[in-house]
Amino acid sequence: MIQRQKGCHDIYGREAKVWKYIDQVIDALMEKYNYTYMRTPIFEATELFHRGVGETTDIVTKESYDFEDKGGRKITLRPEGTAGIVRAYIENKMYGDPNQPVKVYYNGTMYRYERPQSGRDRELTQFGMEILGSDDPFSDAEIISAAVNLYKMLGLKEIKVNLNSLGDNASREAYRKALVEYFKPHIKDFCEDCQERLEKNPLRILDCKVDQENEILKNAPKTLDYLNEESRDRFEKVQEFLDIMQIDYSINPNIVRGLDYYNHTVFEIEAKVEGFGSNNVLGGGGRYNGLVNQLDGPETPCVGFATGIGRLAMAIELEQVKLPIVEDIDLFLLYVNDDEKKYAAYLAQELRLAGFIVDTEYTGRGLKAQFKQADRLNAKFTCVLNSEDLNNNEVHIKNNQTKEEDIISLDVLIYYLDEKINAGMAEDFMEGECECGHHHGEEHECCGHGHCHHEEE
């Protein structure tokens, strides 16, 4: 039997519904923030990631899927989304669009050859958003606010933003020199990777997972101590906008992120998720003002964020968040003979086009087994297509919740279902509760994502 590859997963059943719901919330949120969807190729020229992501990053040195195609071209399966977005921005001359800045988002598959573990796979799906063409600290705050709102809309709690600044190029270079000077006498106490990083990119030492408990690492110089006045002022403005937006955050000078292209604002967002252990980080991002120019485009300030969908779905399930996922159908059509079967095909088509979720029998099961299948599908209503009834232009229909049965004319079936199903939905809504515990209709309105906004807020 051929099996799936290590570090890959088949997404189906309820898990697939959770993933699709997350996609729907992302699309709705991005529409509100006026970001447009952008799709880039799954594979790109290897040079894009080596120049863009950085030669010293783990993604490039250890994790990238590199190969030569039949034409001898060096190709890499994309390990992250930003470099491809920037390549497309340059190649399509989006910097010349009068509508600036360019605000885009992506949601696609990435590939990293790493040791598979919980929440970390070799094939992963990542959502990200980018603002290209704005250096305003307001842009940094907007990206962070959108990310926080996404997690809240999905029902996660105790969202925490860890915020830091790497400063401009001058500040970063001053900090780099300080790190080299600090680590050099002790570098033999670190792993081999960190020893190689000392001269190439000492900031990567701070991100090391092997030596994270090393006391020397814990006492390393902090980025904020090396910010020049301009960088410090800019960082304060980012915080000011976050305060205005009422986004809670903590300054964490240990946040440096793992990619070479970051400068100024960097951040990570975590949630309190039982079962995640010590690493509750769901996503992160920051500013990358030099990347467009580095990839042969014009000087363009940019800021972005990314989060893994798989890890996000895991957090939702671990927290047992109640999502408004459709796990039932409106109607199941039952039949016995071929004439009834043909009418089932016709009626299912008509009802589906009218907007109802309809299923019927496809395997030749008897009537009793068909009723069991309807129960397995959580059908709200069942309809037996009896030949005698059909000749009278009628059908038997049963409400599977109340067990009430009616004989109705086929001419009014659509109106009957519409009235019954919509009435039931309204009743469920009024009797239900939002995440906050308040009943629907009690001086607040539901935002449509399982949460509510109180009028006094």
Residue pLDDT, tens place only, 53-63: 766 566 666 68
Above 90 in pLDDT, residue 188? Answer: no
Taking only Cα atoms into account, the Rg of the chain, rounded to an integer number of angstroms, comes to: 28
Mean predicted confidence (pLDDT) in 201-205: 75
| Cα 193 to Cα 61: distance, rounded to the nearest angstrom | 10
Joined together, the tokens standing for residue 57 give 């990053």
Q: What is the pTM of this model?
A: 0.84
Domains and CATH numbers, the chain: 13-168+228-318 (3.30.930.10), 329-431 (3.40.50.800)
Q: What values do phi and psi take at 430, rounded to 5?
A: -70, -30
User: Residue 259 has what pLDDT?
Assistant: 63
Pairing of strands 452-454, 405-409: unpaired
Mean predicted confidence (pLDDT) in 2-10: 89
Asked if 129 contacts 38 with a C-beta cutoff of 8 angstroms, the reply is: no
The Cβ of residue 22 has, within 10 Å, a number of other Cβ atoms equal to: 23
> 424: Cβ–Cβ under 8 A, 6 or more apart, which residues?
380, 401
Name the DSSP class of 334: E
Q: What is the mean pLDDT of the chain?
A: 87
| Cα 218 to Cα 182: distance, rounded to the nearest angstrom | 12
> What percentage of residues in the chain have a pLDDT greater than 70?
87
pLDDT, tens digit, 9 for 90 and up, residues 432-455? 444 444 444 444 344 444 444 433
CA dihedral 77, 83, 87, 88 (to 10 degrees): 80
192 — pLDDT class (breaks 50, 70, 90): confident
